[in-house]
Structure 1
């Protein structure tokens, strides 16, 4: 397991992760990037369970996503069917993640945002803009830009659809879908591709 994990998570986190995987008999599968999620937890009709995590995440995102999904597994084992991101899961996630909140695993640029997030963890870390940016080192994926970085009126591509960036509404941006003329709200840390005319 060590040889696999060293490619994906900080080295100092490996013993803790190996312990969790063995202790809870985790069936982990590392998969290609999915646009809509970083990872997931599944139960099958035969009682087996499986955790998947995207292979394109950096080591800090990967570790957080993996522990997020292990928390689903542990919650399922302890409490059965409960609200997916309800109080049982939050408590388990906080408990499992605590040993990883150290400067030899997560750098000091990320730790304060993680500590703040864990006061009340949400279903997706992407909804916490500051944490999401810190986990990515403040950089969008190669060839993409964060929506907050592009000027108003810029046309961009998101999941094969063209949008035009509009005004900011509290924490999100109004963006016009150029196919159906409807306005959608985008998180300010959404990663988008600029069209050729804007580059």
Structure 2
């Protein structure tokens, strides 16, 4: 397990993660990228639980996602069925993340955003725009751009649908779906495929 984890997380985080996996009897499965989520926690039909994490995440995203899902596992074992991202989960997640909030695990350009996020963790790190961009080090996937880098009025593709980028509201962009002609709001850290016009 140590050799596998070293491919996906900071070397300094490995002993703590191994401890958590053993202590809480976590069944971890590393899977191919999924478009809609970085990881998940589920109860299997046989009563056992399983955590999956996408294999395409960088080391900082992978560790945060893994601890997020371990927090679901621990919350389920401790409290049974409760709100998925309710106060019980938040408390457990904060407690589990504390040992990782160190500059030898998370770089100093990420730590302030991560510490701020952990005050009141959201259901998805992507919902925290500043943290999401810091975790990705301001780099979009190859062939994609962040929506804030697309000029207003430009066409882009998102999940096999074409949109036209409109005005920025306070924190999100209005984008016209060219198929159904409805306006949708996009977070500024969404990665899209620019379409040459």
TM-score, normalised via structure 2 length: 0.99
Partner Cα distance (2:169, 2:196) in 1: 27
Q: Which residue of 1 aligns with 2:35?
A: 35
Structure 1 partner of 2:115 = 115
| Deviation by residue 1:169-193 (Cα, 9 ceiling, x = unmatched) | 1111111111111111100000000
- 1:196: Cα distance to partner? 3.0
CA deviation profile, 1:71-124 (whole Å, cap 9, x unmatched)? 000000000000000000000000000000000000000000000001100000
Instruction: Provide Cα deviations, 1:135-193, integer angstroms capped at 9, x if missing partner.
Output: 00011111110001111001000011100001111111111111111111100000000
Within-5 A mapping of 1:41-190: 41-190=41-190
Structure 1 runs (4+) greater than 2 angstroms displaced: none
- Higher mean alpha-carbon deviation, 102-111 vs 188-197, is at 188-197
Q: CA deviation at 1:44?
A: 1.6
Gaps of 5+ in 2: none
Aligned residues: 197
Q: Distance between the aligned counterparts of 1:196 and 1:56, measured in 2? A: 27
The structural deviation recorded for 1:46 is 1.8
**What residue in structure 2 maps to residue 7 of structure 1?**
7
Deviation string 1:38-57 (CA, Å, 9 cap, x unpaired) is 00000023211000000110
**Offset of residue 195 of structure 1:** 1.1
Over aligned residues, Cα RMSD in angstroms? 0.6
Q: How many Å separate the matches in 2 of 1:65 and 1:14?
A: 14
